[in-house]
């Protein structure tokens, strides 16, 4: 499945993490069918996948302390699964899962990345998980309550969820005055990516032939890999670049680097155009 960049790029700014859902608003069957199809078809890496589970998510989620931050009322959830033998599984799951979350956002649904506080054994009992695989994260899916609950507001303040660091604190390499327009647009989209506790562990190195993502901070763990967060940011960056007409591919890199988005040469772009991609 090719990335529907013109559909997902606007969803990047609209997406907000929501934890409390309206249990009186079921998801229409046709919307569920579309989301399930994208879960099955958007699988850019062989060792990362998504599965939609169309039943109450109440038993899957647990709060930080009691009901603090607990997900409530979601009629369905999506599990993000990775083969732990793959050295780049965390970033692959982050990239793949964020594509599904952007599709859900484009469909008018609400979601919330949950990678630390959920019952993995419960999720594994509801889907087929091999011995090599692990459920690395999940998201509830549904229609959020019209107004944020006090718990959601508390979690937003805890995670500073709407605050983002300026690019001046995140980017090194080629000076900003030499960036082409697509780099500005792509980095702004990347800057809006969600992360555990809004820790924003990523950094970017702008080069003549692409952009490298690396782990920038030590920061809190929250029992969630920083490379999973960086996988999310990689998807944002590529979606925005594609919407600007710039195509490329990711090369995964060893720690503390994560991956380099390498621009396609003109000959490769011409071939892709000829093949209808």
Quick: pLDDT tens for 70-97.
Answer: 889 999 999 999 999 999 999 999 999 9
Quick: pLDDT tens for 107-144.
Answer: 999 999 999 888 899 999 999 999 999 999 999 999 99
Distance, in Å, from the CA atom of 199 to the CA atom of 70, rounded to the nearest integer, reads 20
* Number of folded domains that form the chain: 2
Residue at which a domain ends, from 131, 159, 187: 159
Beta-ladder partners of 214: 203, 257
Q: 272 pLDDT exceeds 80?
A: no
Query: What count of Cα atoms within 13 Å lies in the side-chain half-sphere of residue 127?
Result: 23
Q: Are residues 117 and 213 in the same domain?
A: no
Residue at which a domain ends, from 139, 159, 179: 159
Quick: pLDDT tens for 137-154.
Answer: 999 999 999 866 655 555
> Going by C-beta distance under 8 Å and a sequence separation of 6 or more, which residues neighbour residue 109?
27, 31, 35, 141, 142, 143
What CATH number did the domain enclosing 249 receive? 3.40.109.30
Tokens, residue 70? 């607990």
Q: Which pTM does this prediction carry?
A: 0.91
Quick: pLDDT tens for 223-238.
Answer: 899 999 999 999 999 9
Distance, in Å, from the CA atom of 88 to the CA atom of 231, rounded to the nearest integer, reads 10
Q: Are residues 80 and 137 in the same domain?
A: yes
In this predicted model, which residue has the larger pLDDT, 153 or 243?
243
Residue at which a domain ends, from 159, 187, 205: 159
**Domain that includes residue 155, residue range:** 5-159
Q: Are residues 39 and 123 in the same domain?
A: yes
What CATH number did the domain enclosing 147 receive? 3.40.109.10
């Amino acid at each position: 499945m090719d990335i529907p960049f013109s559909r997902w790029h606007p969803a990047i700014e609209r997406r907000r993490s929501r934890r409390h859902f309206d249990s009186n608003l079921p998801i229409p069957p046709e919307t569920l069918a579309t989301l399930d199809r994208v879960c099955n078809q958007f699988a850019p890496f062989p060792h990362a996948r998504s599965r939609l589970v169309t039943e109450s998510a109440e038993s899957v989620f647990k709060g930080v302390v009691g009901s603090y931050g607990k997900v409530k009322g979601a009629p369905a959830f999506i599990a993000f699964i990775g083969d732990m033998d793959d050295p780049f599984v965390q970033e692959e799951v982050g990239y793949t899962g964020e594509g599904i979350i952007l599709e859900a956002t484009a469909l008018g649904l609400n979601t919330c990345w949950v990678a630390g506080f959920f019952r993995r054994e419960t999720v594994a009992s509801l889907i087929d998980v091999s011995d090599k695989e692990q459920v690395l994260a999940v998201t509830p899916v549904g229609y959020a309550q019209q107004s944020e609950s006090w718990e959601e507001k508390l979690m937003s303040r805890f995670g500073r969820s709407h605050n983002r660091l300026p690019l001046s604190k995140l980017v090194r390499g080629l000076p900003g005055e030499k960036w082409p327009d697509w780099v500005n647009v792509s980095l702004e989209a990347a800057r809006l990516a969600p992360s555990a506790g809004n820790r924003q562990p990523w950094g970017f190195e702008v080069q003549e032939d692409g952009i490298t993502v690396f782990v920038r901070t030590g920061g809190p763990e929250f029992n969630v890999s920083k490379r999973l967060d960086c996988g999310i940011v990689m998807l944002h960056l590529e979606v925005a670049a594609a919407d600007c007409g710039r195509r490329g591919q990711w090369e995964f890199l060893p720690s503390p680097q994560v991956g380099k988005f390498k621009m396609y040469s003109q000959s490769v772009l011409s071939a892709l155009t000829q093949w209808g991609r």
